[in-house]
Structure 1
Amino acid sequence: MKTYGLIGYPLSHSFSKKYFTEKFLNEGIAGHQYELFPIEDIKFLPDLLTENPSLCGLNVTIPHKVSVLPFLNEIEEAAEKIGAVNCICIKRFEGETYLKGFNTDAYGFEESLKPMLTPQHNKALIFGDGGAAKAVKYVLEKLRIEYQVVVRKAVPETILYAEITPEILNTHKLLINTTPLGMSPNVDTFPEIDYSKIGSEHLAYDLVYNPLETAFLAKAAAQGAQIKNGLEMLYKQAEKAWAIWSK
């Protein structure tokens, strides 16, 4: 039996377990299973690997995408530049365990964003500066899209929501929410911007996918903007993870 799984804490619900369990069933992939491994502290990762010798791959979620880095033997170039890992390939050689880290979030985001881009989407506002924003920044730099990060508490190289002027909204036609604002159960929360300054040339992208239309997306759509949630990104990053594991 080959085992794959998700590490993070807490793990109250998991897209990954449902996705891979259904994938194994629907595609007749026998001898494979996907489990949840809620570990509060990343220091327990070696114990997890020892206790589960059938583990061949892990997805990594909050809060371990950065803290897992010192435990890896190798990191792919993209993940190293991003500074975060959400996928680990596990190989075992002569009793030794070898871990290689990847970032499939960037792939999922890029592949789901590119078909929606038009020439006016050459500047972006990124709401939030946490782990999820790292992959978004990497992709925007790769696509040569300028960006400005917006946060609630002042840190270097960012601006506050209160500093977003109508001019900034007019020149930055790509709006990306990387925060948990609007995520169930807090569905009434959203980035505090002047939505009346958004129009049909704007593209609002929310990494949140539960609910499928967040308050952020609904407010942007009401102004005529194109909208996109994070569900396709999630599917594409999962497909990428499977491609890595099944090589």
Structure 2
Amino acid sequence: MKRDVKGTTRVCGLIGNPVHHTLSPAIHNSLNDITDTDMVYVPFEVNEKDVETAVKGALALDILGMNVTIPHKSAVIPFLKEIDPVAEKIGAVNTLVRTLDGSGFRGYNTDYTGLSRSLREAMVDVMGKSVVILGAGGVSRPAAFLAASEGAAEIFILNRTIERAEKLCADVNSYVGKAVAKPLELGRYSELPDGRKYICFQMTMVGMYPNSGNAVIEDPDFYRKIEIGFDAVYRPLNTKFLQLCKEAGAKCISGLKMLLYQGVDAYEMWNGIKVKDSVCSKLYGKLLGELMEGKSIVLTGFMGSGKSSVAQRLCEILGYEMLDTDAEIEQMQSATISTIFREQGEGAFRDMETEFVKELSEEGKKRIILSVGGGLPIKPENREYLKKIGTVVFLKARPETVYERVKGDKTRPLLKSDDVLSKIKELQEERRDIYKAACDLEIDTDNKSIDLVANEIIEQML
């Protein structure tokens, strides 16, 4: 919905440089809509020399609260009236909340709490574990302090500049009162002790779009030591670092949930509310949709491949609109597909399919999930229209799987046969190459849940 800006509307925002790529407005403005909060959230690009002016200006302009991103997370600290003890120890602030008397801002680090919550959700416990942190910059600091606070047995901080790693280790060790953190020059990663598996936090900007083909370390031997890999980079969702972790058999965690929860924590402090878990799930889907830049998805495949069920789940996750070619044609014709086949013939029905996807492709709609009939891609012109609508995904299933899914459905005209399984095999053989030619992605659905298939589609698109 489009929110009206009134005289009572409060403003929150983000300062950093650059900020135009940020997903934070999607989090906060969506929360405004869901909770009916009279607030707007906007990004402000602030040069390093203007940080003091920006903080004082936000106070003077009665801005309710601010997020802070790179490179200003430490630079804002001298201009705060108060600072949360955890943020003070970390030496970095990413959330500014007005003090109770309104005379200044109090600084918090919700990167710390957001990371903690995302790890709990992924059922990751660092207690007694060996931890590796790649990078010693702003986002590395909350990761290091969190690992130390939650009882990691040892923490290796790897950085190109050894002095920064040494400084972070000294700060962490002073905080917990023991020498748990150890610095190591990034290029000497092979010196990490053998005989143990590591939880690895990738906290640099390496691998961020548009340089998504890079990883801070690319040696497969390094990844064989990792049991859990976390990447603070979320654009793309499936970074080169996480790909290498997955290839080595490690559990992979994207930084998108950390982004979500650090934003939710800030929002709760600004507005004095508690955001429900169900709302967080919706917001996560919204962020996935933003990462896909609203690109639509077209699901093709043989009958019984799961197109309708997967389409519904994708819409629930992403907040997209669902369209089904068969359902749309039935509504426009005020008749069932079986009736159209019987009274007008298959040829007339195929022409209706073509007209529908042609018009849809010309509209250029975003954020839709389109499930298409099994025979629609047969026409070459239809395949061209589908490509214009969105990313075309071919859902595959073995004939036996399809048979089990559709054997009780008497409404499918093409399955009026004495030997339904043989008919399915025959039609699949005829159409397999057509589906392959029509698609951008192929996904197997055999022995997979609807959630697993939907998530696999999203991951491959990102």
TM-score by length of 2: 0.50
Query: Does residue 49 of the first structure (1) align with residue 58 of the second (2)?
Result: yes
Structure with higher strand content: 1
Cα distance in structure 2, aligned partners of 1:118 and 1:92:
35
- 2:235 maps to 210
Letter in 2 for 1:122: K
- 2:339 maps to none
Letter in 2 for 1:107: T
Task: Name structure 1 gaps, 5 residues minimum.
Answer: none
Q: Deviations over 1:169-211 (max 9, x none)?
A: 6425111100001110111110225323534961011011110
For structure 1, which segment, 74-83 or 96-105, has the greater mean C-alpha deviation from structure 2 after superposition? 96-105
Query: Does residue 26 of the first structure (1) align with residue 34 of the second (2)?
Result: yes
Structure showing greater radius of gyration is 2
Q: Deviations over 1:62-120 (max 9, x none)?
A: 11110100111111111011111000012474xx6221110000001111123432579
TM-score by length of 1: 0.90
**Same amino acid, percent of matched pairs:** 28
Task: Name structure 2 gaps, 5 residues minimum.
Answer: 1-8, 167-181, 273-462
Q: How many pairs does the alignment contain?
A: 243
Structure 1 pair 92–198 and aligned structure 2 pair: CA distance change class (3 A) = closer
Classify the secondary structure of the residue corresponding to 2:133: strand
Letter in 2 for 1:80: E
Q: 1:129 aligns with which of 127, 131, 136?
A: 136
Cα distance in structure 2, aligned partners of 1:62 and 1:210:
16
Query: Does residue 90 of the first structure (1) align with residue 98 of the second (2)?
Result: yes
Letter in 2 for 1:153: T
Cα distance in structure 2, aligned partners of 1:120 and 1:73:
35
Q: Deviations over 1:34-72 (max 9, x none)?
A: 11121112122245225522x111001111110100111
Cα distance in structure 2, aligned partners of 1:201 and 1:179:
17
Q: 2:186 aligns with which of 161, 164, 169?
A: 161
Letter in 1 for 2:228: L
Cα distance in structure 1, aligned partners of 2:116 and 2:138:
16
Structure 1 pair 102–47 and aligned structure 2 pair: CA distance change class (3 A) = closer
Map 1:1-247 onto structure 2 (within 5 A): 1-29=9-37, 31-40=38-47, 41-49=50-58, 52-53=61-62, 55-91=63-99, 93=101, 97-114=103-120, 115-117=122-124, 122-145=129-152, 146-155=154-163, 156=166, 158-165=183-190, 168=193, 170-192=195-217, 194-199=219-224, 202-247=227-272
Q: CA deviation at 1:161?
A: 2.9
Q: Is the 8 A contact 1:56 1:91 kept in 2?
A: no
